[in-house]
Structure 1
C-alpha cells in the first residue's frame, strides 16, 4: 500500500515563515549591495569608535581613576564596545525614513511579499554591519594593549550580550524611522545618541555622579551591558551597591529582551499602517 503524503496548506504557519525569511533575505541583500557600492560610508562608521577610544583613552584616561584599581583603558574598552552598539543607530533610522519618503517602502508593500520582510531584512543587514564594526573595535583594542582575562567561553558570552543589545536597539531605531514624518524629523532624534551614551557607566562609575543622575545612569541599558562585559572579559569594573549594579548580568539580558518585545511588534504594526 502506498503511503499518502500529507501536504501543508499554503497558508500554514511554516510555509508563511519560510516565505517571510526568504523575502527578508532579499531585502538584506539589497541593503548589502548598497553598502558595497559605497564602502567608504561603512569603513568610516567602523573607524569612528576607534577614534573615540583614542580620544578618551589617550586624552582623558590619565585623569580618571578606576574604582578598586586597575588601568582605565581596560575599564574603558568594554564600555566602548557597548557604545559601539549604539553608534550608527541614526543611520538605520535615516535609511528607513528615506525609503518611506521616497516611496520605496510603498513599492515593497505593493509586492506579494511578507509585510515583515522589509523591517526584518533591514535589521539583518544592520546586524551584519554591527558584527563587522565590533570585530574592528576588538581588533583595535587588542592592538592598543587591551586584553580579556577570562576563558574563550566568557569572551564569547560577552560578545553575545553586546550583539543582543545591538539587536534590540536596532528595533528601536527601525520603529522611530518608520514613525518619523520624514528624514528631517530623524535629526531631532540623532542628538539624543550622545547624551544616552554619556549618561551611563560606559566612561565612568555612576557613583561619581550626583545621586539622581547616577541612578538614571545605572538604569541605562548600556550600563548593564558594559558592566556585564567587564565582568565576562575579566576587566576592571566599578561594582556598585545598588540592586541594578549587582545584577548587571541579568539586566544585560533582560533589557534587550524587553526592548525587542516592545519595539519589534510596534515596528511591524507601524509598517503595515504606513499610508500609501
Structure 2
C-alpha cells in the first residue's frame, strides 16, 4: 500500500492511466540494479529514485573525482574522494527516503555477477568499457533478467533493451548484445572518455532515456527497445533508430551456443 505521503509524492504518476495506483505499487515493489554510478548512472539513479522504485542496487568500485562533476550530477563537490556508491546513496536518500539502496562497492566480475544480477528484477548498464558490457549481457542472459543498456560518445549515445532469455512470437530467441556487437573493437580504436572528452549533458539525455525504458519494462507499458537501437546525435539534434535481430551464430543463445556460463570472463 501507499502511504499518504507517498500518494502526495507520486501524484503526477497516479493520474496517469498507464501507471495509476497499481503501477505505482509495482514500482514500489520493484528492484533495479544499476551498473555504474557515473555519467549514465547519475540521471538514471536520480529518476528511478524519484519515480519510487522500491530498491535500487548500485555497483561501482570507483571514487568521486573533481573531473567527474561536469557530467556525474549524482555527486557534489563535497563528495570528491568518497566512494561513488556511498555518495550516490546519500543523494538518493535525500531525494526519496522511501527507497532502499543496496550498495556493492566492488567491481562486477564473473565470480559475483550471477549472484548480484539475480537479486534484482532488471538491470541497467551504465558501464564505460566493453569488458563489463559483455559480462553484464551474459550474466543477464544466464540469470534471466532484462537488460537496458546505454553507451556514450563525445556528442552522441545509444540505447537498447535486451530480453535474450525470451523468444519472440515466431519462437526465435530474442537478440542479445553479442548479436548487435559480435566482438569488441580492437584495443585502442575507441578512446576513453578521459581522452576523447564528452559533453556532460549528453550523459544526462541518455541516462534519462534509460530510466524511462526501465520504468516501461517494470510496468509493461508502451513499446520497448528490444531489437531496436536508439541513436542520439547531439550536434545534429537528431534521434534515429536501427533495427537488429537475433544472430543464429552468436555464441550465447545461437543455434549452437558455446558459452555455457561466465567462465570465459575469468582471467
TM-score normalised over the length of structure 1: 0.28
Q: Which has the higher helix share?
A: 1
Answer with 1 or 2: which has the greater Rg: 1
Q: Would you tell me which structure has more strand in proportion to its own residues?
A: 2
Normalised TM-score (structure 2): 0.28
